[in-house]
Structure 1
Amino acid sequence: MGQSHSLSVQIEIEAPPETVRSVVLDFQRYKEFHQVFTIQCLDPEMQPEDLQAGDKLDVDIKGYSFKFRFQPTLVENSPSTFQWYGSAPFLFSGKHQFFFSPSQETPGGTTLIQREEFNGLLAHQIEPSWAFGKQTRDNFQTFNQDVKAEAERVAGVVIPSTS
């Protein structure tokens, strides 16, 4: 019963995968470069790079007409993948994934893919024709753009002047 739908956005970043991953996992600094997602380890002694499958996160997402906060379980934390699973039982569940891979387009860069697999009775609302789906895609794209800007800043990428 229920439905499934997935949403995926990707971006090319002029920084190596380990730099991009370190920016995504630097939860404490999000407020300096990103305003939509807030992620924290539930265990205040835990560092994001040390998280393992089964550990819990606290995720707060702004940008919706309602408060969207949940505590997903980490599924994988490897050099190429960071993913968690969260749910509102019977109504909605999702596996959120970040993939960091060497770019085939940008020498020395990264292809960052952010993807979510939604399941449950309300999964259809993530489709692009629904406001929730459009807002979710916009949130993913905003996050990817912000990670790109921060990772390239950290990597020392010089952005050409347009003047």
Structure 2
Amino acid sequence: MIFTSIEIARSPEEVKKIFFNFPAYPTWHTSFLHGITPLSKDPNPLDAGSQVHCHIEGVPEFDASIVENSARKFVWKGPPVMGVAGLHTFEFQPSEKTNGGTTFVQKEEFEGVLSFLLQEWLLGKSLFKGYNNFNADLKKKVESL
């Protein structure tokens, strides 16, 4: 598993507003997570069961199935790539450290024959770095408003 978190001095609702504005990502985050595009034309394209197209640095582009989109979590499951599938979770938790703030968590749980290689200290190093860079850019953007 890869696990990252960051404290953001804004409410979970404010963080989610920026996070879910996928088309604006290039204005505040220019590396690693290059795009998330809902594939459904439904009025609620991010409901569980819908799909998103993901463009992540160093990984072949893929379509992921949304598993959960709740007040505190956004979770997708990617397809197997080279025998490994990932369950990617973003959490927007009220902070216990920052009054009125958010603990933003980004983590990925891997399954498959080679999943043990994707630990943050092995082949998962670049993912760990990318998640932390995204988290820092999100914090900077949200706190600048």
Deviations 1:91-128 (A, max 9, x none): 01111001111111111100001011101012122123
Secondary structure at 1:23 match in 2? helix
Counterparts of 2:120 and 2:66 in 1: how far apart (Å)?
27
Query: Does residue 109 of structure 2 align to residue 109 of structure 1?
Result: no
Give the secondary structure class of the aligned counterpart of 1:87: coil
Can you list the C-alpha shifts for 1:31-75, whole angstroms capped at 9, x where unaligned? Answer: 1111221111113x457x75111000000111x2xx421100001
Moved more, 88-97 or 144-153: 88-97
- The 5 Å alignment of 1:63-74 reads 64=58, 67-74=59-66
Which residue number corresponds to residue 53 of structure 2? Answer: 58
CA distance in 2, matches of 1:79, 1:129: 31
In the TM superposition, residue 21 of structure 1 has moved relative to its aligned partner by 1.1
Q: Per the alignment, in what secondary structure is the counterpart of residue 15 of structure 1? A: coil
Identity %: 33
Say which is worse superposed, 118-127 or 138-147, in terms of deviation.
Answer: 118-127
Which structure 2 residue ranges, 5 or more long, are not aligned?
Answer: none
Q: Contact 1:21–1:79 at 8 Å: present in 2 too?
A: no
Give the counterpart letter for 2:127 in structure 1.
T
Structure (1 or 2) with the larger CA radius of gyration: 1
Q: Distance in 2 between matches of 1:29 and 1:19?
A: 15
The residue correspondences of 1:1-163 to structure 2 (distance < 5 A) are 6-35=1-30, 36-37=32-33, 38-43=35-40, 45=41, 51-62=46-57, 64=58, 67-88=59-80, 91-130=83-122, 132-154=123-145
How far did residue 87 of structure 1 move?
1.8
User: How many residues are paired up?
Assistant: 143
Task: Give the TM-score normalised by the residue count of structure 2.
Answer: 0.91
Counterpart amino acid of 1:28? P
After superposing on structure 2, the runs of 4+ consecutive aligned residues of structure 1 that deviate more than 3 Å are: none
Gaps of 5+ in 1: 1-5, 155-163
